[in-house]
Amino acid sequence: MSTASVSGGASASKRPLIIILAVIGIVAIILGILYLIGGSAIPSFLIAGSHVKHGHHLARGGVALVVGIAALIGSWFATKSKASQHA
């Protein structure tokens, strides 16, 4: 058993994490943009159970954008650490 196969197995386990973080990041950024646009651009399923149907769109949009960016940065860091293991 070589050390390359051991380190390859550890980095292969990060692949689902990277994909999940990237998808969450992209979806959160899209939702953040929809909230910031406001009005009729927001799908009804996002505000169906909300007690606050009007207002707070800037706060929700900002939080969604921050979460999306943080998820994409986390995905990038996981990718960078994966690449540094192969070097």
Residue 87 has pLDDT above 60, yes or no: no
**Structural domain boundaries of the chain?**
21-86
Q: When comparing pLDDT for 17 and 7, which is higher?
A: 17
User: Looking at residue 2, what is its pLDDT?
Assistant: 46
Angle between helical axes of 3-12 and 57-86 (0-180°, round to 10): 170
Residue 56 has pLDDT above 90, yes or no: no
- For 9-24, how does the pLDDT look when each residue is reduced to its tens digit (9 = 90+)? 546 688 899 999 999 9
Q: Tell me which DSSP letter residue 2 carries.
A: -
Residue 39 has pLDDT above 90, yes or no: no
- Residue range 15-40: mean pLDDT, rounded: 88
